[in-house]
Amino acid sequence: MVVRALTTLKMQRNTMPTVILLDVSLSMCRRVSEEASNGEEDVLRKHLAVHGCNVLLDHFMQHCKLEFTALVIFSSLYEVVAPFTRDFELIKNVLTTLDEYDMTNLETGLLGAAQHVLDEWGNGTPCQVVLITDGSGRSGPLSLKHSLASSSQSRESQSEQFPLPFPFPSKLNIVCIAGPNEPGLQVALPMYQRLIELNGEGNIFVPEGNLSFKSVGSMFERLIESNFCSYQGQLHCGNLSSPITLSPPPQPYCRHHDFDALRVAVGDTIQICGFLNVGDVSSPPAYSKHLVLPLSGKEDLATVTKLNEGGGSDDEGSGNDEGKIPSFCVLLHGGLKRENMVALCQIGDNWFGILYSWADNKKKSNLMLSLFVPGVDVIPWLGDLDCLGPACLLPENPYTIKENGTPFPVKVHEKRSYSQNCVVWIRQEGLQSDIQKILRHARKLPDKSQSFYKELNRVRKAALAYGFTELLEGLASVLDRECQLLPASANPECALHLSHAAQALRTTDKRDLRHNVSPYKSRSSDD
């Protein structure tokens, strides 16, 4: 079996973009002390910031090649100097050409980052925002202190509202290019912590020891370790297994309840429990989606070489071509694609997902993992996932029954509220559509009398349930108008039905949910 390279995806839902928000104000041009610069002349704080950004981008180039990154600079204004891209070398080249500008306005920078994410990805894609500044809190009307003081106050327009929390799922990390004992940083730290609290999740990173290239590099490595580490785990199915990585890395599931918070992290083992037809799974709601890629390295190559030396030919074991390494990941992907099935897998305690083949076009396909929210009843039509088992163990295989070729969906005894034919008037078009439906049946009376009264009582009950009693008078007026506009060729009973319905809508004792508008009894029906 030959390992085929799984192609990359360009789907917004399968990425976790990163915005590097870099401060380019005049305060970033302050010199670093001679002791910290190791004798190098004119080492500025912005040089240390660029060095840290390069450390981060180098990590992306090696471990996060599928992720998009953007560079936004700010002072009193903001500018998107590198829109979202996977060309990390381009961003590194832009960093070397940046100029310095005027004063720092963190609110403007955060607004620029939020706007760029909304323009490119919308408000449903999780995003990482890395704010890099010199730790100077400043003072005055554009200072962070002033912005936080006015953040709780109502502003004149929506565009002037404080940008935090971001209108999309996000994590805000603040990186300070300042010594830990600097007075300005000590003043700014509580305000930075307030920004983290407003957004909901994130951390503050400060160099350990004197400000230098080494300490800043170590600080960015701590940032990478806590936020940008790639996922590496094992995919198991019986005796078969394969080391894999997921892109983007799965984030822990966190949900706050009334008195506690549920936080579950993805384990390093993904165990396949069984296989289902694609039609049985249909399109379940997913918490997140990830591209599954097999890992291959020197250790795997060495293992295969030893196996070949024991029972294979010299030609098979002499090369280090990755295309000759057997991979369970490729076997699983090909099997699922050919058989049109999905693999139900467990990634933690009471946490499940499905593996399946996904194609972005007719020629390329990928092995994907969709994670559900934690629980065993996350797919209503499958029932309790713990109760699933092989179909061959059932007294009669449900897939062989012609009347019902699949055991799904599982029928429940209780009646679901969403299975009722309820009336929903969220927009004006919905109400207008229901009224027009009544009028279409009204013009075909008495042939459509059964459908006419059914729709009429349906709208009447909904109006009474919503307290929209004015609708009854309006609908009665519409029926009177239709009665007057009937053509000469219309059936004489049509006018009688319309007049009867209009009068019933206006009658006070008929405004009871337990009663319906009864059909008009014509002479022909009495006979």
* pLDDT in the model for residue 483: 87
Tokens of 524: 């022909």
Mean pLDDT in residue range 182-207? 88
Distance CA 51, CA 334 (A): 44
For the chain, how far is it from start to end, CA to CA, in angstroms? 81
Residues 6+ apart with CB under 8 A from 228: 18, 56, 59, 60, 63, 64, 128
Distance from C-alpha of 74 to C-alpha of 107, rounded to nearest angstrom? 10
Tens digits of per-residue pLDDT, 510-523? 567 777 888 887 65
Percent of the chain with pLDDT over 90: 19
Give the H or E element holding residue 183: helix 183-199
Angle between helices 213-227 and 45-63 (to 10 degrees): 40
- CA 523/CA 527 separation, integer angstroms: 6
What is the DSSP secondary structure assignment for residue 153, as one 8-state letter?
A: S
* Tally of CA atoms within 13 A in the half-sphere of 403 that contains its CB: 0
Tokens 């029972």 label which residue? 311
CATH number for domain 231-400, candidates 1.10.10, 1.20.1070, 2.40.290, 2.60.40? 2.40.290
pLDDT tens digits for range 105-144: 888 899 999 999 998 888 878 889 999 998 776 665 667 7
Task: Give Cα separations from 451 to 431, 478, 495 (angstroms).
Answer: 18, 18, 16
CATH 2.40.290 in the chain is located at: 231-400
Mean pLDDT value across residues 269-281: 89
List 522's β-bridge partners, or say none.
none
One-character DSSP codes across 470-520: HHHHHHHHHHHHHHHT--TTS-HHHHHHHHHHHHHHH-GGG--TT---PPP
Per-residue pLDDT band for 355 (boundaries 50, 70, 90) equals very high
Q: Residues 199, 164: contact at Cβ < 8 Å?
A: yes
d(CA 95, CA 524): 88
More confident call, 160 vs 331: 331
- Angstrom distance (rounded) from CA 70 to CA 51: 17
Partners of 23 in the beta sheet? Answer: 74
Percentage of the chain lying above the pLDDT 70 cut: 78
- Rounded to two decimals, the pTM is 0.60
- CB neighbours of residue 304 within 10 Å: 19
- Residues 189, 174: Cα–Cα separation, whole Å: 10
Q: What is the pLDDT of residues 141-157, one digit of tens each?
A: 667 777 777 766 555 55
Beta bridge partners of 204: 174
Contacts of 148 (CB under 8 A, 6+ apart): 191, 194, 195
In CATH, what class is 14-149+160-227?
Answer: alpha beta
Q: What is the pLDDT of residues 395-433, one digit of tens each?
A: 777 666 655 566 776 666 666 555 556 777 877 778 888
Numbered ranges of CATH 3.40.50.410 in the chain = 14-149+160-227
Q: Which two tokens stand for residue 416?
A: 């679901």
